[in-house]
Amino acid sequence: MRPGPGSGELGRDNGQIELFYGLLPQGRGRGSASKAARLLADWADHAGLGRVILTTYPGNAASQRTATRAGFQHVGSERRTVKDNVVELLVWARPTTSAPPSSTADPA
């Protein structure tokens, strides 16, 4: 099987979902990443999985436009280790519309 023009992933940490995306050059410029990010964030929100975030590099304007088109808002920055280097990343979040899952819900 050959890899497609892009990939995505959801990861969960600290009560929030982190979305990752990447596209090969031939898959860029068609709105695929923003549509996929929006659909995954909608699904996570509907399932009550927590706040959905993503990060971008400060100089990656295309990824920042993708985040904005997918309904994310810039909410801050954070330092992370990426490939053994400490880097500053911009953090983006989507406002949630559903209530967080309750740990005391009756499973009736």
In order, the DSSP letters of 62-88 are: HHHHHHHHTT-EEEEEEEEEETTEEEE
- pLDDT lower than 50: segments of the chain: 1-10, 101-108
Structure tokens at 45: 């929100």
Domain-embedded: residue 66: yes
Q: What angle do CA 24, 29, 34 make, to 5 degrees?
A: 90
pTM: predicted TM-score of the whole model, two decimal places: 0.74
Range of the domain at 54: 6-94
Helix (H, G, I), strand (E, B) or coil at 41: helix
Q: What is the pLDDT of residue 105?
A: 45
CATH number at residue 80: 3.40.630.30
Q: How many domains does the chain have?
A: 1
